[in-house]
Structure 1
């Protein structure tokens, strides 16, 4: 079942697109589908604790001008039912089932952070389904530093939840902090049918999945070697959550990859430099 992004003459945006639901093996998955009809859709795979409302409209709306954009809450996340699994492999299987439930035979993947772990799994194991992959603020199996997730998150929340995303996604420079504040304002642009925050149960399961992923071993980088599709890798120089060195490791072992690192940027570099990010993704997807 492929969904229509537009109804009649209405052209939906990140802010206005209605939330739809699809049954995936007995669980109800929430998703939002908008942008240019036809062609290969971009499936957005979200970060730890994030929902559809944590995607930056400056990114999604810009990409929707030329692409079919699909945001969704994976199993058990926010408005999607079911129990959130505590392993990346299971999350990848759920995302795969979601894509199949929508009826797509080929997709592009945009995976941010935890979503990037999931994207790698799908691309390696289902090469005919995935055409191209964008990996942002992420790393391979056994990523350096991600087992420190709890202490990093606690440090990010030290001056309250209102500043947590700015602390975790951006650097301490004035320019980066200002970009973070602008990003936070953009996240509030959608006012109708907003997602509920992730539950403590979901957050706990995701945290376990991330930390376990960090402890797993893939010494020969077999999963990365299995990814033959074109891959665009982006990050900032100062990623606190998935340390930036992991992006370099990805580029070393994914043979058909390009790496972009933004100076004075952190985990949320794709949002701080959203115009450049969109421009690079457009070039990458059009080749």
Structure 2
């Protein structure tokens, strides 16, 4: 019997750094798909409909990186160190090669993983992403900070950033929230405000304009699928075009009437696109 993401047990593994990582997995396959989560997100913030659609064709592993949710340690203040922590986790579960799907700040981490240890990444999916050093990326717009960058979680603010203004998109957002709330036992620990501040420090460091740093991403030679929503206010779609243009093997898709959470709104279409890309 196949276990869906909502029922998958939370497992724990200790890396060589001594940090204990919390993770969940479902599906089966030789090359796992590793999921890297968004700003302040934990295991419960993945849409089960998306994960289950991905896991229908492969093994999918979601985890809390160091200092996030139920994992131990502290959140580093740079994306590069987050990537090194993620590599410790991959080593701990015995993963020698993986496909990697990074979402938002997770997509920054995914890029760094591919640059630090190229042989571990077979294919890369970058959702709501941007290259390091891009212009006008140093921090988020004031309305985004007001919605998602405050100490207390703001569901209405998250809805406004993750979904477009149309009734259809907002309804899809509410449905995604409902799917994420289905799990009632063995839920993850909320990510602390201190961890969120460290993540935002890393986002800002990543976004300091630096034309030379833009050249780094060109060293990623594996196939990459770059995707975003057409109305993302957090990581603007133009950065997806910039990123895809800097990569040597990139496919790009912008999903209509959607924002930062396009992959949850268009979960069936996005999962199908990812499965085709990885196959």
TM-score by length of 1: 0.92
**What's the CA shift for 1:221?**
2.5
Per-residue CA distance 1:38-66 (angstroms, 9 max, x = gap): 31000000100000111111110111111
Map 1:21-40 → 2, pairs under 5 A = 21-24=12-15, 25-36=17-28, 38-40=29-31
> Could you tell which deviates more after superposition, 140-149 or 244-253?
140-149
* Distance of 1:102 and 1:142 partners within structure 2: 32
How far apart, CA to CA, are the structure 2 residues paired with 1:229 and 1:185? 36
Q: Number of paired residues?
A: 275
CA–CA distance in structure 2, aligned partners of residues 186 and 196 of structure 1? 18
Matched, 1:246 2:239: yes
Which runs of 5 or more structure 2 residues have no equivalent in the other structure?
A: none
Q: Equivalents in 1 of 2:66, 2:143: separation in Å?
A: 25
The answer to whether structure 1 residue 71 and structure 2 residue 37 are counterparts is no
Asked if the contact 1:15/1:57 (under 8 Å) is kept, the reply is: yes
Segment drifting more, 198-207 vs 214-223 = 214-223
- For the pair 1:276 / 2:241, whether they are aligned, the reply is no
Q: Aligned match of 1:176 in 162, 165, 169?
A: 169
Contact 1:47 1:113 in 2 (8 A): yes
Q: Does 1:234 align with 2:223?
A: no
Runs of 5+ consecutive residues of structure 1 not aligned to the other structure: 1-9
User: Where has structure 1 moved over 4 Å in runs of 4 or more?
Assistant: none
Measure, in 2, the Cα distance between the counterparts of 1:44 and 1:258. 19
Deviation (angstroms), 1:162: 2.5
The Cα shift of 1:223 comes to 2.0
Alignment of 1:198-277 (within 5 A): 198-215=191-208, 217-219=210-212, 221-277=214-270
- Asked if the contact 2:38–2:105 (Cα under 8 Å) also holds between the matched residues in 1, the reply is yes
CA RMSD of aligned residues (A): 1.6
Determine if contact 2:230/2:254 at 8 Å carries over to the other structure.
Answer: yes
Contact preservation (8 Å) 1:237, 1:263: yes
Q: Give the equivalent residue in structure 2 for 1:191.
A: 184
What's the CA shift for 1:220? 6.0
Q: d(CA) in 1 for partners of 2:155 and 2:234?
A: 18
Residues 134 and 210 in structure 2, CA contact (< 8 A), matched pair in contact too: no
Please point out which of 10, 17, 30 is paired with 1:19.
10
SS in 1 for 2:5: coil
Q: Equivalents in 2 of 1:188, 1:145: separation in Å? A: 35
Question: Hey, what does 1:5 align to over in structure 2?
Answer: none
Cα-to-partner distance string for 1:86-123 (whole Å, 9 max, x where unaligned) = 10000000001110111111100000000000001111
Alignment partner of 1:165 out of 149, 158, 167: 158
Q: Displacement of 1:269 after TM fit?
A: 1.0
The farther-off stretch of 250-259 and 122-131 is: 122-131
Pick from 40, 44, 57 the counterpart of residue 53 of structure 1.
44
Would the alpha carbon gap of residues 106 and 80 (structure 1) be closer, same or farther in structure 2, given more than 3 Å must change? Answer: same
Q: Given the alignment, which residue of 32, 35, 39 partners 1:44?
A: 35
- Structure 1 distance, partners of 2:139, 2:214, is 22
8 A Cα contact 1:145 1:242, kept in partner: no
- Give distance in 2, aligned partners of 1:150 and 1:50: 19
Q: Distance in 2 between matches of 1:95 and 1:119?
A: 9
TM-score normalized by the length of structure 2: 0.94
